[in-house]
């Protein structure tokens, strides 16, 4: 799985001019699923993101977690994180097909909810407009194939 996690002071996703999900302080998570991803990888990634300590403490150090600041998550499906950019026209055959991607996308959000977080989202496969006010900016890239985020 791949995720781009941005610390935000607010974020929203709209479809056809209608806001589908919105949060105040928290994480905007652009989430991509690969063909080899599993429930175990998904669960581990959710755990890592939910416990990420990138919010500033009283000393201005990135030391606080999402829970400690009362933050929420806006999760947006993003198959383009698996783009093959070897040519000028990206290919997306490296992304999981919807029959695998949708259940893992839903599972990721459920794992975050089980940890007590408000989780907002868009609609898988829809043409969405995402707005965010990046805080910092702080943006972290997770790739379970490269950085071990999904390994037990």
* Domain ranges for the chain: 2-143
79 is annotated as an active-site residue = yes
Chain centroid to Cα 120, Å, comes to 11
106 pLDDT band, cuts 50/70/90, is very high
Query: Per-residue confidence at 109, pLDDT binned at 50, 70, 90?
Result: very high
- The answer to whether residue 124 is catalytic is no
Residue-wise pLDDT tens digits, 8-37: 999 999 999 999 999 999 999 999 999 999
How many Cβ atoms sit within 10 Å of the Cβ of residue 51?
11
Does 2-143 carry CATH code 3.50.80.10?
Answer: yes
* 130: its two tokens: 């995402």
Q: Please tell me which residue in 80, 92, 123, 129 is annotated as part of the active site.
A: 80
Which is the catalytic residue, given 27, 55, 79, 108?
79
Residues 109, 2: Cα–Cα separation, whole Å = 14
């Amino acid at each position: 799985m791949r995720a781009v996690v941005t610390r935000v002071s607010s974020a929203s996703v709209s479809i056809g001019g209608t806001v589908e999900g919105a949060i105040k302080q928290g994480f905007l998570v652009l989430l991509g699923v690969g063909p080899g991803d599993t429930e175990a990888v998904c669960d581990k990634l959710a755990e890592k993101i939910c416990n990420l300590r990138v919010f500033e403490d009283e000393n201005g150090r990135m030391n606080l977690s999402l829970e400690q600041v009362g933050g929420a998550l806006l999760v947006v499906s993003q198959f383009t994180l698996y783009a093959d950019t070897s040519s000028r026209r990206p290919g997306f055959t490296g992304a999981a097909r919807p029959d695998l991607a949708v259940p893992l996308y839903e599972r990721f959000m459920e794992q975050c909810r089980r940890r007590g977080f408000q989780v907002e989202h868009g609609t898988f496969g829809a043409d969405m407009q995402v707005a965010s006010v990046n805080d910092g900016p702080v943006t972290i890239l997770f790739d379970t194939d490269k950085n071990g985020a999904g390994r037990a």
